[in-house]
Structure 1
Amino acid sequence: MTQIIRSLDEIGSGYDVLFCDLWGCLHNGRAPYPAAVAALQDFRRGGGRVVLMTNAPRPRKYVAEQLDRMGVPRDAWDEIVSSGDAAQDAMFAGAVGRRVWAIAQPKDEGFFADIPEEWQDAPPIQRVPLTEAEGIVCCGLFDDLTEAPEDYHTRLFLARERKLKLLCANPDVVVDLGEKRLYCAGALAELYEGLGGEVLYFGKPHAPIYDLARRRLGLDDAARILAVGDGIATDIAGAAGEGIDAIFVTGGLAATEFGTDVENPDPARLQEWLAMRMQAPRFAMGRLR
């Protein structure tokens, strides 16, 4: 049964490394949660290391710059590993061809333009119209403030007819920007799979992003890792697949499911909700603190 805890310091000494989600745990898309920042700083002061593990479809340097603008202090983390890092590597390796239809926004430009050192000599990736593409790279909707997945149904149906593979740079389906819920690349990937298309995933809950985090920190099998996240199908399912403990932050994406007090989830409602989704994270808390 999942144990509800009040704060990270109740259990933090039992772990060497945190794989901590960003959106919904450390910040709300606009500003950091002060208690979450303090919890990560305290964990690091106690000798632990913090990996900010995000399904953001951008290389880590852009994630770091965004966190700086948001006011997240650098002493709250040691490393950033993004879905964009893992997916970008696959794209430059040619996983969906070299002529791609890119579903992305201007903020995703670095995903295509910043070529990692190991791929500098590879043939270039060209962004072309759908009718000329060998594959699809999806970083998110063209306009996530106004569009929904169904707006892409016709184009994705045509892509399926051409048997194009879709590289999904962000497996998240939705995210909350302040009080507004936005669709992510994972929503388009789900639609494409529903149409019979083939999708390649690289962020949580899939193994490549965890492998990348372990390599960057030089972790061995003895490392005691704790995942923290609010996505039951990404953070929590991913931790379970990797065989690591997890804290489910109930006050994020699923906040309305566990009672009116975001900081204190109702135990009975929580256990029932988790059972319905066949997940049993070791711990849960309302907000990271």
Structure 2
Amino acid sequence: MTVPVLKQAGALLARYDVLISDVWGVVHDGLWALEPACAALAAFRERGGAVVLLSNAPGPSDHVARLLDAKRVPRTAWDSLVTSGDVTRALIAESHHKRAYHIGWASDRAVFEGLDVELVDEARADLVVATELNDYRTETPEQYRPLLSRFAARGLPFVCGNPDLVVHVGEDLLPCAGSLATIYEELGGSVAWAGKPYRPAYDLALAAAAGLRGGRPVEAEKVLVIGDAVRTDLAGARLMGFDSLFVAGGIHREETMRGGEVDPAGLARVLDGLPVQPVAAMAALA
């Protein structure tokens, strides 16, 4: 099957009632809003559709919303926001563990606010929560292997607060907490993944969409997932039985783009072997 490559998405989006859109790589590039994408989402909303942003960002949604404001993503582009931080909070609460070792930025500790959890050192921890690397610009995931080996040997559960392996920040490709969780599983540790492509994140997104529609359930065939990552966005859409639109100019752009245009051969290689193909691809949402 050849996936059609679109220049504009208006006619495609009109077939759906709800868009579940990735954020990083689709709505902004890590630095600033991608204006054509925001305009496309705003136009969809103006026609009566609902837009739920679903992000693997490790912060709670209210914190991430303020970051989107700072990146100049207009509130007219979205109705609701669900983040990995929201799922992480739920998983921590459900775990009933009281002493957590945190890997990630100090600002990410908002996920612990209001929870009956103490942040402790390695020796006292009974739970590991990774939201990011402590400094993803200077560190590599492999530097954490000795620490992760000690936690795995003790059998500590690990909550991954951002299942992405890597992310673009401008032109830089930097590691995320998912790369640590992958090592932890290699070491025999148990990981709870708080975000895409796992069902808890989509269940929250669907609940948000139903709320926007006055409580009416959302039919799967009326939901379109928009994303730039095969491993998370396209896999999550397949899990849930939703159609997907692949943004080739995001995380896979080194493989799928040539001279600012989608390279059909590169696109085919990236999508090869997927049991369900996206309904279309674009260089960027517009």
User: What TM-score comes out, normalization by structure 1 length?
Assistant: 0.93
Measure, in 2, the Cα distance between the counterparts of 1:131 and 1:189.
20
1:39-54 alignment runs, 5 A limit: 39-54=40-55
Name 2:248's counterpart in structure 1. Answer: 250
Measure, in 1, the Cα distance between the counterparts of 2:254 and 2:57.
24
Q: Which amino acid aligns with 2:31?
A: R
Name 1:237's counterpart in structure 2. Answer: 235
Deviation at 1:272, TM superposition (A): 2.8
Q: Which amino acid aligns with 1:129?
A: D
Measure, in 1, the Cα distance between the counterparts of 2:269 and 2:160.
31
Deviation at 1:273, TM superposition (A): 2.4
**Larger CA deviation: 43-52 vs 212-221:** 212-221
1:138-287 alignment runs, 5 A limit: 138-218=130-210, 220-222=217-219, 224-262=222-260, 264-276=261-273, 280-287=277-284
Relative to structure 1, the CA distance from residue 76 to residue 26 in structure 2 (aligned partners, 3 Å threshold; closer, same or farther) is same
Secondary structure of the corresponding residue to residue 101 of structure 1 = strand
Name 1:112's counterpart in structure 2. Answer: 112
Deviation at 1:259, TM superposition (A): 3.9
Relative to structure 1, the CA distance from residue 4 to residue 85 in structure 2 (aligned partners, 3 Å threshold; closer, same or farther) is same
Secondary structure of the corresponding residue to residue 137 of structure 1 = strand
Deviation at 1:66, TM superposition (A): 0.3
Describe the superposition over 1:19-78 as per-residue Cα deviations: whole angstroms up to 9, x where unpaired. Answer: 010111111111011111111111111111111110001110011100111111111100
Contact 2:26 2:228 in 1 (8 A): yes
Name 1:102's counterpart in structure 2. Answer: 102
2:59 counterpart of 1:62? no
Name 2:32's counterpart in structure 1. Answer: 31
Deviation at 1:83, TM superposition (A): 1.0
Q: Which amino acid aligns with 2:111?
A: F
Measure, in 1, the Cα distance between the counterparts of 2:89 and 2:168.
24
User: What TM-score comes out, normalization by structure 2 length?
Assistant: 0.94
Measure, in 2, the Cα distance between the counterparts of 1:254 and 1:222.
30
Secondary structure of the corresponding residue to residue 270 of structure 1 = helix
Measure, in 2, the Cα distance between the counterparts of 1:58 and 1:269.
33
Describe the superposition over 1:195-219 as per-residue Cα deviations: whole angstroms up to 9, x where unpaired. Answer: 1111001200000010011112225
Contact 2:224 2:242 in 1 (8 A): yes
Secondary structure of the corresponding residue to residue 224 of structure 2 = strand
Name 1:82's counterpart in structure 2. Answer: 83
Describe the superposition over 1:203-247 as per-residue Cα deviations: whole angstroms up to 9, x where unpaired. Answer: 000000100111122252425110000011000110011000000
| Corresponding residue pairs, total | 279
Secondary structure of the corresponding residue to residue 258 of structure 2 = coil
Structure 2 segments unaligned to the other structure (5+ residues): 211-215
Q: Which amino acid aligns with 1:242?
A: M
